[in-house]
Chains A and B, each alone.
Chain A
């Protein structure tokens, strides 16, 4: 008899060492998430995967599953919390979906759809952030960066490099490049690296590839973010883009 946790009343089996998120994904139960990607070390920063375990708020991507946990996930209250967190991510940056090449393929945008978000609700912060177009095949548009550190982790853990880091404190946190000039062109990143493709929003894009898939036929025009096998679909697609 395997061990189980209960998510919204449903028994979900798990193995020792799995997080709540791992167990949920394996059981095809969707817990909204943004900074988490299976295969990379869990981060726990975006807090979209926040769930209530026996009444206590935890991040399901970092909390180990343990026998008997009673987990509230898909509740109206948590949906409202997550919608607010998504709105916070939108208004702290400069996100202009209609003019972004990532529209329709963007995880942040897809999460907003999923949570019936109709506006940013809060006053915009309008931060000033720099673009780095120095690299021949890649571009960083920090206006769209949500500080999920997927590129940071992909570069270190999969590509075996250390191209990205997050610098600064608080609302001034920003993505930086580990190179003498701080420019991407001076780093050892390559187009084939996972870090070049993993950005869930449009902050790191491949140059010279735009609008190859028409709006209306992109990932989240055809799929809901709640389809738990999407991770591979999204990755394959971005790889295909610059093939």
Chain B
């Protein structure tokens, strides 16, 4: 009976039934539509947040195009190929992260960039993809749920790159990499007891991190998060102005191009990390609900793809990437609305800026590859 149901469900989503260019390009129409809509919303908001500067919008449009090209390219690769590449990709990422610490370029008090042949990029972005791929590859090679020893190895595989990234220091990305790894473990059936143990272990770890692992500005961020009014002109200024922007937007918002907090530049980082506050100010709670619905649609489509993936590797990877996308969303909106500390995580697909945009697009390319390369019957 179960078998019957599986077969029928495969049939329903049989990609060969779908005709046309999209199917040939290995693209998933609902997911693609959701992503394009989010990018479009991003460009519209960016025009307002950036002080009606069309140049800014053009540059972002170029990044989106680059992202989509990579998305389409990755979608052409078969999941099997991706699976076989996973360990090599992981090792490459690890090597590059070490290289960053040794020869990386500095910016804003952190060493994140690596320049190869004139092209600057952040190896930590590669790690965001390579880590879940590696863990998925590792866990998919044996039975589920994984045994304790395998869990331990998987944990170490997550922690090494995470620590390297935290050293740069880039706390936001380190957290995203860790969560990507944990999501794979979680989806692989990691027992709740183990998760609980992790949380308990995190407390002394957190303390150690506070004492030795954090720079002064990072500690300040946490302290300011706990009490934004502590430093109203310094780091608390972001949160206070952001809350004013959101709150003053009300139910209907002040209207596009009419947000005073953003247009008059009271809101810092309004085109990047705090763009969510601009949307809240100009489009109100109504706009926020619509935006969240759009995100939810993309996330649910991603989980749907994960649920219908034929192989364990694909399932774990698709699920993890989708959940990381949600983590992006939640950490950013939570930080902008003042329920999470300020860690530099952009609003996915909307915030101005290149690196994370490209990574996310490639992630969705992987999802499409998983979804569109299924065979009619499992072998």
Chains A and B belong together in one complex:
no
- The interface of chain A, by Cβ under 8 A from chain B, is none
